Structure 1
Amino acid sequence: MTSPVSLRPDPAADPEAGPAAGRGPGAPGRSVRRGWVRRFGVRVLSLLVLLVLWQVVAAAMRNPSFIPSPRAVWDQLVQTSTVHDGVRGYSGHLLVEHLGVSLRRILVGSVLGVAAGLVLGVVMGTVPWIRVVTEPLVTFVRALPPLAYFSLLVIWFGIDESPKLWLLTIAALPPVAVATASAVYAAPAGLVEAARALGATRWNVIGDVVLPSALPEIFTGVRLAVGIAYSSVVAAETINGVPGIGGMVRDAQRYLQTDVVVLGLLAIGISGLLIDGALRLLEHRFIPWRGRA
């Protein structure tokens, strides 16, 4: 007497049915959560290891003016964030106020630089003779360190906010212009010709075909521009930069307050990581196909 034939698939014979078979609809969600927890744990562990190494090196050097200890930097964080012995923060401003002023400068300079670079990049990518004329100039400006032309900006615009914003704008413009021009120039010719055959105007082709195909490279240029603006903020605030996180770092360097310098650098770096994370979220929101096509 033969046994009845089972209609249930045999996991051993089905290559698709691995260890995850039969775990239910919630298995992918649990796997994603475990992966996120694992990555978070690795990052926390690496941060702890870095702090331990920092403490060991600082203790071995025994020179707080050269390498301050994590505790000294923490004490400066508390002191610059509160009113201590009648002194408000650093140079009369709290740390969050210094950081807020610098972030405002970076935001304004980055927005202006990105907007100008986007327009210039589109024009360079669509009008060949303008590309030939402007590309060497954009490359020349991109190769200049910010301090190389900051003195000239101070002569032209004084020592108030104008030269700082101009410096950050000029520093942020070339990466966006170069990335946009290259992406626009490399737009799919077949899609462009198809749009023109359907009666699309030049501006319709740019807005509906060229720019969407160039978005990944444009976002890369924007992230580079914001990073360059962050790296230029200390240079922008070397003159009359207080309040400002770069001005605070520059002022502390004059008096060998290394713990304040390290605190300012950490504030710039951590805020830069947060801004870059926000830009990456925007990138995933507007370019969901990147990395999947």
Structure 2
Amino acid sequence: MNRVSSVVRGALPHVLVLGLLLAAWTAVAASGIVSPAYLTPSPLEVWDAFVRANTYHPVGGGVDRVVRGEENYFLWEHLVVSLRRIGLSLAIALVIGVPLGLAMGYFRGFGRLVGPYVDFLRSIPPLAYIGFLIAWFGFYDTSKIWLLVLAAFPPIALATLNGVRGVREDHVNAALSLGATRRQTLLFVLGPATLPDIISGLRVAVGFAWTTVVAAELVNGLPGIGGLAYLSGTQNKIALSIACILVIGLTAVALDVVLRTLEKKLAPWRGKA
């Protein structure tokens, strides 16, 4: 009983803040401050757009023609397609970023040579890549996935590099003195020691990937939650666009919770040293 009451007390401030935000939102939508009125849909209108995007519904005011969700896909299907693109891009970013970060940290000369280029890529807004990626790979998924890879791999590589630099040198020397090769030291000493930093870099990379998904799906992005958010905005379906934005944000929060849980499971020692 005490545990339930403590959970309720902990959740109450969040519920109150959410209620105040919804009330303020509803008041602004009803006040007519912004004209025309469709530019400020109420929370109920956004909810209706969300439900409509996940159901079969008639169009054109009649009952003869029924459409499936939005753009012939349910909203959750748009989300799944975007998650698949982001998942594949993050897998590629891990395959590139983790070995690169380990090598940059372990081989100092290599790190001094390659590090500035990784920093350079990190500083470029992913939107800047869209033009030549489309020219190279076309309008389909390949260009979108590589755009997300370019957004995700620098933080993974740099987080791995920082993790390697944080490993005590005597631990590495101890492994070498016991007969471990450089490759074994890299895989079995530095790899596990940098795991918390890799997961932290992955969390940052997921955030970058999600903030880039709308840009990645600007062209031929349907199905896709970012493409739907962009298209609905251009068609003045503001309620649907806001629903897509909320889904993108809530999904990002859920992914971060999953990654934090994974970090606690795989690296329970983090923060306890």
Match in the other structure for 2:27:
56
Alignment match of 1:111 (pick from 74, 91, 95): 91
Alignment match of 2:228 (pick from 243, 248, 251): 248
**Is structure 2 residue 101 aligned with structure 1 residue 137?**
no
How far, CA to CA, are the matches of 1:186 and 1:71 in structure 2?
A: 50
**CA deviations over 1:248-287 (Å, ceiling 9, x no partner):** 0111111121111100100101111111111111001011
**Is structure 2 residue 195 aligned with structure 1 residue 195?**
no
**CA deviations over 1:140-175 (Å, ceiling 9, x no partner):** 111111110111100000001100011111110000
Q: Which amino acid aligns with 2:143?
A: P
Match in the other structure for 1:15:
none
Q: State the TM-score, normalized to the length of structure 1.
A: 0.86
Alignment match of 1:283 (pick from 241, 263, 268): 263
Q: Is the 8 A contact 1:183 1:218 kept in 2?
A: yes
**Is structure 2 residue 39 aligned with structure 1 residue 80?**
no
1:32 deviates by: 5.5
Q: Which amino acid aligns with 1:77?
A: F
1:216 deviates by: 2.1
- Secondary structure, aligned partner of 1:132: helix
Structure-to-structure mapping, 1:92-131, within 5 angstroms = 92-131=72-111
Compare CA radii of gyration and give the structure with the larger one.
1
How far, CA to CA, are the matches of 2:17 and 2:119 in structure 1?
A: 38
How far, CA to CA, are the matches of 1:32 and 1:131 in structure 2?
A: 50
**Is structure 2 residue 11 aligned with structure 1 residue 40?**
yes
Match in the other structure for 2:61:
none
How far, CA to CA, are the matches of 1:34 and 1:285 in structure 2?
A: 27
Q: Which amino acid aligns with 2:240?
A: V
**CA deviations over 1:171-193 (Å, ceiling 9, x no partner):** 10000001111211231011111
- Secondary structure, aligned partner of 1:65: helix
**Is structure 2 residue 50 aligned with structure 1 residue 70?**
no
Match in the other structure for 1:16:
none
Q: Which amino acid aligns with 1:267?
A: V
Q: Which amino acid aligns with 2:93?
A: G
In structure 2, runs of 5+ residues without a counterpart are 59-65
How far, CA to CA, are the matches of 2:271 and 2:6 in structure 1?
A: 19
1:34 deviates by: 4.5
- Secondary structure, aligned partner of 2:95: helix
Structure-to-structure mapping, 1:153-172, within 5 angstroms = 153-172=133-152
Q: State the TM-score, normalized to the length of structure 2.
A: 0.92
How far, CA to CA, are the matches of 2:176 and 2:166 in structure 1?
A: 17
Q: Is the 8 A contact 1:114 1:225 kept in 2?
A: no
Match in the other structure for 2:63:
none
Aligned-residue sequence identity (percent) comes to: 41
**CA deviations over 1:49-82 (Å, ceiling 9, x no partner):** 2211211222222543332110110110111111
Q: Is the 8 A contact 1:97 1:243 kept in 2?
A: yes
Higher mean alpha-carbon deviation, 32-41 vs 100-109, is at: 32-41
1:218 deviates by: 1.5
How far, CA to CA, are the matches of 1:195 and 1:266 in structure 2?
A: 49
Structure 1 residues 212 and 35, CA gap change in structure 2 (3 angstroms)? farther
Q: Which amino acid aligns with 1:158?
A: G
Match in the other structure for 1:225:
205
**Is structure 2 residue 147 aligned with structure 1 residue 176?**
no
**Is structure 2 residue 248 aligned with structure 1 residue 268?**
yes
Aligned length: 264
- Secondary structure, aligned partner of 1:239: coil
In structure 1, runs of 5+ residues without a counterpart are 1-29
Q: Which amino acid aligns with 2:48?
A: D
How far, CA to CA, are the matches of 2:76 and 2:20 in structure 1?
A: 27
How far, CA to CA, are the matches of 1:230 and 1:35 in structure 2?
A: 33
Higher mean alpha-carbon deviation, 95-104 vs 127-136, is at: 127-136
Q: Which amino acid aligns with 1:89?
A: G
Higher mean alpha-carbon deviation, 123-132 vs 275-284, is at: 123-132
